[in-house]
Structure 1
Amino acid sequence: MSASIQNPHFLLRRLHSLLGLVPVGAFLIFHLWENSQSRFGATHYNEEVVGALQGLNYLLLLELFVIALPLLFHAGYGLLIIRDGQAEPRRYGYLRNWLYWLQRISGLALILFLLLHVGLTRIAGLFDPSISADLFSHMQQALSQPLVFALYLIGVLLAVFHLANGIATAGIVWGLTSSAEAQRRFGWFCAGFGLLLAALGVHGLLGFLIAPGAGGGA
């Protein structure tokens, strides 16, 4: 309580950290798993994955209050942290300092990537219903362009790094890893977790290009 009185950003920083893990981070993990289903082909992806999500009750409210608003707060407050330039984790060593700034840089890049991704999928689908009806073919066509694939690959890897490093940082922020040894061990765990997520994300991107029926859509 005293820390929150002395520092008006105390609670906001912890809310920023918490929302970065749940629901934003949790949604990223789900979204990577969701897109990994592309390996089963267009029919499965469009009907079993996208179709099931589109059939959820109160989907618009879920997207707004569970995804959009927490993401906007996390991104907006992250920009304020960058503006202030207060690298509190510097006390935890040189590597942690570098990871802090890589976290900030990746956050900026992810804002641009999200604008591309949401514009290419959700917003484009509002103007062209055929995109929502056959999202697999839409993504297949987009990712077949080398530049778009490269941007998506970079975006996925940055998102995974941002989450994995964010989990490691949250352990420090919330006092779960107070010793240097605990931080080191948890850091390795987060690195391994990030590699698994990265593999899942890359597999999902490739699935749009190499899955059965991907050559001609569905």
Structure 2
Amino acid sequence: MPSITNPHFVLRRLHSLLGVVPVGAFLAFHLWENSQSRFGAEHFNQEVVGALAGLNYLPVIEIFLIALPLLFHAVYGLAIIGGARAQPLRYPYLRNRLYWLQRVSGVGLLVFILLHVGMTRIAGLMEPAVHADLFGHMRDALMSPWVFGLYLVGLWLAVAHFANGLATAAISWGLTTSADAQRRFGWVCAGVGLLLGAIGTHGLVGYLIAPTGAGA
């Protein structure tokens, strides 16, 4: 049996845990946060972005609860990919395919996150007007069909990666030990992914159809 004195064993468990909390929890919160775009520009800029900007110790939260866990999860995930031996065509059973898809979605998601952070957080630091009207900035960007399509793909990559990772984490931590338990919890995780995907998609559409003046 693997030992907790084995660095690889510990890092794999830490990678799994951080993918659920805080990274996965932040994903769920971020999608809910963006779903409030449907209430319009004034509500989103003042009640959502403004409220978050006024949080106490916000830089500490962003660095230690979001950025560093996400960075570790991404870097160690790439290390796992480097040593992966998944062969979905040669061994076409579901768990092997999901393992392979988890790796592929992780790479695509990493590229999307870098683009998203650049378009929002970094752009807001360089141009105060972006931060002052993040709703308008996102609305203008998403008016482009290719940007909207990119965000839609990135969104569903994120929720698929999280949902499958949640099911895998339950196996890794010994919470689902039997095949039946893994299958049942797999359906629960799929439901969670669909729900988060629907909330996120609603948020993207909200930027385009919500009022730009007073909130609805």
- Structure 2 length as normaliser, TM-score? 0.93
Question: Between the two proteins, what is the percent identity of the paired residues?
Answer: 70
Cα-to-partner distance string for 1:139-198 (whole Å, 9 max, x where unaligned): 000000011000000000000000000000011101111111001100011111111111
Q: What root-mean-square deviation, in Å, do the aligned CA atoms of Structure 1 and Structure 2 show? A: 1.5
Change in CA separation of 1:10 and 1:86 when aligned onto 2, cut-off 3 Å = farther
Contact 2:139/2:208 (<8 A) preserved: yes
Per the alignment, residue 38 of structure 2 pairs with 39
Per the alignment, residue 110 of structure 2 pairs with 111
Counting only pairs closer than 5 Å after superposition, residues 180-191 of structure 1 correspond to structure 2 as: 180-191=179-190
Partners in 1 of 2:65 and 2:128 — Cα distance? 24
Q: Post-superposition shift, 1:62?
A: 0.8
Q: Post-superposition shift, 1:106?
A: 0.5
Counting only pairs closer than 5 Å after superposition, residues 112-191 of structure 1 correspond to structure 2 as: 112-191=111-190
Q: Post-superposition shift, 1:213?
A: 2.6
- Extract unaligned runs of 5+ from structure 2: 87-91
Partners in 2 of 1:188 and 1:56 — Cα distance? 36
Partners in 2 of 1:116 and 1:144 — Cα distance? 17
Per the alignment, residue 67 of structure 2 pairs with 68
Matched position secondary structure for 2:36: helix
Q: Post-superposition shift, 1:58?
A: 1.2
Change in CA separation of 1:147 and 1:2 when aligned onto 2, cut-off 3 Å = closer
Q: Which amino acid aligns with 2:80?
A: I
Paired residues in the alignment total: 209
Contact 2:2/2:9 (<8 A) preserved: no
Per the alignment, residue 26 of structure 1 pairs with 25
Q: Post-superposition shift, 1:8?
A: 2.9
Cα-to-partner distance string for 1:96-131 (whole Å, 9 max, x where unaligned): 110011000000001100111000001111111000
Per the alignment, residue 89 of structure 2 pairs with none
Per the alignment, residue 56 of structure 2 pairs with 57
Please say if 1:209 is aligned against 2:208: yes
Q: Which amino acid aligns with 1:94?
A: Y
Q: Which amino acid aligns with 2:108?
A: A
Cα-to-partner distance string for 1:68-108 (whole Å, 9 max, x where unaligned): 00000000000000001155xxxxx8101100110000000
Q: Which amino acid aligns with 2:211?
A: P
- Extract unaligned runs of 5+ from structure 1: 88-92
Q: Which amino acid aligns with 1:139?
A: M
Partners in 2 of 1:86 and 1:197 — Cα distance? 30
Matched position secondary structure for 2:177: coil
Change in CA separation of 1:101 and 1:51 when aligned onto 2, cut-off 3 Å = same
Matched position secondary structure for 2:175: coil
Matched position secondary structure for 1:3: coil
Partners in 2 of 1:110 and 1:12 — Cα distance? 21
Per the alignment, residue 3 of structure 2 pairs with 3
Partners in 1 of 2:80 and 2:28 — Cα distance? 25
Matched position secondary structure for 2:3: helix
Partners in 2 of 1:57 and 1:211 — Cα distance? 30
Contact 2:19/2:73 (<8 A) preserved: yes
Per the alignment, residue 90 of structure 1 pairs with none
